[in-house]
Structure 1
């Protein structure tokens, strides 16, 4: 009788477990051993324009634990702490805080060999997970362009942030059976197919980027300057070939350096461009029809009273023509020209060149600069705007504007992506653009302020600029040295802008930024196999720089140690 009752009970229980409550118990079992786990995917590789890798993802291993299970074997926590290189007290506190959870990261992004040494101890509740970590072969040279990713491989700065969705891909998911130690014993089903991140080919040329970076560091050391930026732009299509800044940081380091060093100053920081703006004042003058390149303008006696202020040149440059205003960098001449133009027209020309708004490069945090509304201009504001005070631009905006001159009056948004569709807009008469390029060639002569920007065997057009640093209530005796130019002038291809902050000793744009421009432009032209356009004889100015001998020049009248001041701050 007892055996019959026992047998009947077993049958009833079996029916209950396998038929009546089968789904309930199946769910309970699955909840303990059936898990949905992510399938990690590799972030897309970032390449330079020639296919060289700039950012790659490498497989790593992260160690995690099930606190509920690990705390049941508390005697092995000290062993685990030693293996992880952690303080035992800290590890215990973490585990106890998450005692009701089944997952806790212990250490992220270990190389597989180090992770294996931890896992080989077979500590209950400790397991691993495959992940990917970003690596930047060029280190600080590319840091400001690329930015970096966080520990979860999501973009945080630079192009890693701008193209995060493109690069990140989409992790897959699968359902697996795990044993009590957390090990996968069987793959049950694929829930979601993993989609690896897509490659991104940049317009950046790694060779030119390294060249610009070296020359920027050299210039800062030579002049004891605090910071600087260099931009190299392809004028034909707006592609950015290089953009470098100092100070920089190592994106491979865990802390990624100080926050201030992470800024891509070429796009996020603004400066008053100084005399580099005179090219655009002259563009407005030629467009108005009131001025021609050879129209005379008297700058004597080297100063001009204006509404209670004084506009000054560094010396009495006498009678010049409009071309000479650029060659000799006359603030008085630029101011006199601007005062003959309407506020609306001068503002319109500056605006067409891209000043006062973002370039549209798509770089995160790009500054739009500041171009005051023309209705707010008085005569002094209008005069100082003509030679680069009272407005703010980024180095990238300045490069974009000079690219308009280089590309026959067409404006394009600078782009970091090779081969991107980049339509242009006609903003200046092509004849005027070509005329200004010819006028700017005179700056790179013994009579101009930019002799040290010359490039041997190439015709160069450009403009130096020097401005005082603005502070609350006025200007201080700290300077920003700038040179912006293009080459080959006969058929412009490249635009280079150099901006140096706080140089000590000599501080004018032609002397500080000019040589860096020359070295970067020279190297970039040769790396890209752009044929020379100047077969004239050349001479050295004694400082390793070269300039063409023009007809009538028996010998250079430029003294290598001389300075030509272009401050232009109205008194």
Structure 2
């Protein structure tokens, strides 16, 4: 083609070439999309009609050691709305609010403010029947989705151990939080067809099945948990206490059989929940254990070889001075052997022993007993307390450590330590999960020394003059030690009239099976001593627990000879 008279004929040819190239590129793209790359167009079309909606996963079941449910998941319906679509149904907003149980003005305001949005929750956690009643109203813009809600059959009894989940079914407290990944399932995926307004047209298929969470069997025995809960509530009412805790441990396996606290809360209804009621005080609250650690100081003394059970210590005149500190006994003692020091709970006697043997043996035994160390339970918020280890021990620090001041422990740590004494000096790790195989323990105190200390603790409970006589259990030999400690004030000193009352012990002494610790915080009525307030709780709980666990009595009265009984009857006597 000749361009006669054109000044720049090459420009026209370049334009024609570019137009031809563009036409060719468009033609190739059309062919490519229609023939070679069909999935692209299909995907774009599906993106405007095919949706994937999640299939909620069933959270794992939590049970006690016997399979009794402590946390179960139930299906619920959540209603949501498309505010933009609901604007066309303003006339029915009052009707919708009424069936949802909401204030019409509040609902109207919320939908008006969110008029440009396409999603808002209307109400969550309805029963399927309640949700269906709302859907049957056929209000445009109201939709439903399936969810699961956690329910706790034991309610407030096991609340501190089990914990709870939030509205999105995620663990927030207790074992629900500690084992959230284990309990939480994997959501599935369902493919559906929706129109441009988001309305469901067709349920196509399940792309991925939901995977339920795994079950979790706790070491807790719900029968013993109810028992502990009941007795703590009674002692709170009887003595006007601020709080109370009880921990029961299986001596042989280290399993926690009961862990109860007061005050508590109902995890099924948390509307008026007080934060203080949520604390698992048995694991979170630390305190100076007072006289309950004296058995470990005695064990340290026996371990040095300088003392034996009949060694005598002069505790007169019932007080002693160390620098500017005065150590006093509650009761006048005199010349006391080691058993007598525990029975009279002599601060003077145990201080003299500690000063004689030095701080290292006492500190070592307490460290081996687990004080100042994590229990390994992995419970959220658990505290480890404090066991001081001074570079240079002053006499006052040595003496106070021996009778339970200057260190801090939790109720669980104290129960673990007494379980070690009951297990012939063998330290077995604690567990909040049911164990199918017993754990291996570590021998931390000589077997004979632990048995000797247990016999001393038995005397504390069973012999006249012991401070734990109110902890007696009919038909069983039990051993334990009471304790009373002033609370630390906010200024760093001690309060004048605020105490904690303790009792820690094991049962039965001849073949220990359980260790129990009772802590009562600030009893204000009817006394505040551990032997008066906490010991009776130990006795009542231990008596019923030993029978529930089918543990044979070891303190039954000897059988009466038949001939002797007949002779007494013939004389008018009574058997």
Q: Shared fold (TM-score greater than 0.5)?
A: yes
Q: Which digits, 9 at most, give the CA deviation of each residue in 1:150-184, with x for residues without a partner?
A: 00111100011111111111111122113466554
Alpha-carbon distance in 2 for matches of 1:376, 1:510 = 35
CA contact (8 A) 2:171 2:180 kept: yes
| Matching of residues 78-93 of structure 1 within 5 Å | 78-93=94-109
Task: Work out whether 1:533 is the aligned partner of 2:554.
Answer: yes
CA contact (8 A) 1:125 1:182 kept: no
Partner of residue 57, structure 2: 41
Map 1:432-511 to 2 at 5 A: 432-444=449-461, 445-471=463-489, 472-476=491-495, 477-504=497-524, 505-511=526-532
Match of 1:270 in 2: 286
Give the C-alpha shift of residue 359 in structure 1.
1.1
Number of aligned residue pairs: 525
Are the counterparts in 2 of residues 267 and 396 from structure 1 also a CA contact under 8 Å? yes
1:424 to 441, 450, 474: 441
Residue 253 of structure 2 is aligned to residue 237 of structure 1: yes
Q: Post-superposition shift, 1:459?
A: 0.4
* Corresponding residue of 1:175: 191
Shift of 1:474: 1.7
Asked whether the equivalents of residues 77 and 131 of structure 2 are also in contact (C-alpha less than 8 Å), the reply is yes
Query: Which of 149, 158, 181 is the aligned partner of 2:174?
Result: 158
Structure 2 counterpart of 1:138? 154
Kindly indicate whether residue 405 of structure 2 is the aligned counterpart of residue 405 of structure 1: no
Partner of 2:224: 208
Give the distance between the partners of 1:23 and 1:407, measured in 2 at CA.
70
8 Å contact kept, 1:166–1:197? yes
1:518 aligns with 2:536: no
Counterpart of 2:267 in 1: which secondary structure? Answer: coil
- CA offsets per residue over residues 80-116 of structure 1, 9 Å max, x none? 2232223344334433554444332211000122112
Give the conservation status (yes or no) of the 8 Å contact 1:467–1:480. Answer: yes
Cα distance in 2 for partners of 1:359, 1:305 equals: 36
Q: What is the CA-CA distance between 1:25 and the residue it aligns to?
A: 6.2
- Structure of larger gyration radius: 2
Give the structure-2-normalised TM-score.
0.87
Q: State the SS of the aligned residue for 1:156.
A: strand
CA distance in 1, matches of 2:355, 2:549: 43
Q: State the secondary structure of the residue aligned to 1:213.
A: helix
**Secondary structure in structure 1 of the residue aligned to 2:554:** coil
Greater shift after overlay, 73-82 or 363-372? 73-82
Contact 1:37 1:175 (C-alpha < 8 Å) held by counterparts: yes
SS in 2 for 1:196: coil
Displacement of 1:254 in angstroms is 3.6
3-state SS of 1:304 partner: strand
Structure 1, gaps ≥5 residues long: 1-11, 539-571
SS in structure 1 of the partner of residue 167 of structure 2: coil
Q: Any residues of structure 2 matched to 1:65-84 within 5 Å, and which?
A: 65-84=81-100
Worse overlay, 295-304 or 94-103: 94-103
- Unmatched 5+ residue regions in structure 2? 1-26, 560-575
Higher mean alpha-carbon deviation, 22-31 vs 503-512, is at 22-31
Q: Distance in 2 between matches of 1:443 and 1:92?
A: 70
CA RMSD of aligned residues (A): 2.2
Q: 1:297 to 1:193 in 2, by over 3 A?
A: same
Contact 1:127 1:182 in 2 (8 A): no
Task: Work out the CA distance in 1 between the residues paired with 2:392 and 2:177.
Answer: 38
CA distance in 2, matches of 1:139, 1:200: 18
Deviations 1:357-410 (A, max 9, x none): 121111111110111123253211211111111111100000000001000111
Seen in structure 2, the aligned counterparts of structure 1 residues 274 and 93 have a Cα distance that, compared at 3 Å, is same
Residue 320 of structure 2: aligned partner: 304
Q: Distance in 1 between matches of 2:528 and 2:374?
A: 29
After TM superposition, list the pairs within 5 Å mapping 1:104-119 onto structure 2. 104-119=120-135
Query: Contact 2:301/2:361 (CA < 8 Å) preserved in 1?
Result: no
- Which SS does the other structure have where 1:105 is aligned? strand
TM-score w.r.t. length of structure 1: 0.88
SS at match of 1:374: coil
Check whether the contact 2:249–2:256 (CA below 8 A) recurs between aligned residues. Answer: yes
**Bigger shift: residues 341-350 or 466-475:** 341-350
